[in-house]
A and B are shown apart, each in its own frame.
Chain A
Amino acid sequence: MTLTDHARALVAEAASGEQVEVYLVESRTVEVEVRDERVESFCAATDTGASVRVVTDGREGLAWAAHPAELPGALTAARANAAASEPDPTLGLPDPGDCSGPAVELDLWCDDVPGTPVEDKVALALALERATLGADPRIRGAEKVAYRDAATRTVLCTSTGVVVEDRRTACSVTTVAMAEDGDGTQTGWGLCARRRVADLDVAAAATEATTRALRLLGAAPVRSRRTTVVFDPLVTRSLLALVGAALCGDAVQRGRSIFTDRLGEEVAAGTVTLVEDPTLTEAWGAATHDGEGVPTRRVPLIDGGRLETFLHNVTSARRAGARTTGSAARPLHAPPGVAARALHLTGGRRRLEEIVASVDDAFYVQAVTGLHSGVNVVSGDLSLGAVGCLVRGGALARPVREVTIASTLPRLLRSVREVGADLRWLPGGAAGCTLVVDDVTLSGT
Chain B
Amino acid sequence: MKILVAVKRVIDYNVKVRVKADQSDVDLNNVKMALNPFCEIAVEEAVRLKEKGTAEEVVVVSIGPKACQEQIRTALALGADRGIHIEADTTPDSLAVAKLLKAVVADEQPDLVILGKQSIDSDNNQTGQMLGALTGMPQGTFASEVVVNDGKVDVTREVDGGLQTVRLTLPAIVTTDLRLNEPRYASLPNIMKAKRKPLDVKTPADLGVDTASNVRLLKAEPPAERSAGVRVADVAELVEKLKNEAKVL
Does chain A bind chain B?
A: no
